[in-house]
Amino acid sequence: MNTKQERMMQMTFTKLPKAISAEELLSTPLPPVKWIVPGLLPAGLALFAGPSKAGKSWLTLRMCLQIAQGNPVWNREIEPRTVIYFSLEDTFNRLQSRIFQLIDGGDAP
């Protein structure tokens, strides 16, 4: 093998995640889960999936607004957090209309 091929193979293998055994995993102390909505939504990336028109966008936008303002979500007390909402299919008009409906005259986060 030439040097370029060796470098390419080495780069490929160094990017793979480390595999561990079940025994090693069970003996490793792990930090507790950080919850955005206790017992429901952990910190990190969250994806909501379901059939079209099931209300995923409304649910997600409402949760984002509640979390950004620190308002309870389904009677679960939360701390206000920075939220990023990617509305990749909505126009600004549609998104503005939904936010107006959800905040119902209240303050926008």
Q: Note whether residue 67 is domain-resident.
A: yes
Q: Note whether residue 58 is domain-resident.
A: yes
**Structural domain containing residue 72:** 32-103
pLDDT (0 to 100) of residue 89: 87
From CA 109, how far away is CA 9, in angstroms rounded? 49
Q: Note whether residue 14 is domain-resident.
A: no
pLDDT (0 to 100) of residue 46: 85
Contacts of 55 (CB under 8 A, 6+ apart): none
64 pLDDT higher than 80: yes
* Percent residues over pLDDT 70 in the chain: 85
55 pLDDT higher than 60: yes
> What are the phi and psi torsion angles at 95 (to 5°)?
-65, -40
Say how many domains are in the chain.
1
Q: Note whether residue 43 is domain-resident.
A: yes
12 pLDDT higher than 80: no
Contacts of 57 (CB under 8 A, 6+ apart): 87, 89, 90, 98
Instruction: pLDDT band for 106, please (50, 70, 90 cuts).
Output: confident
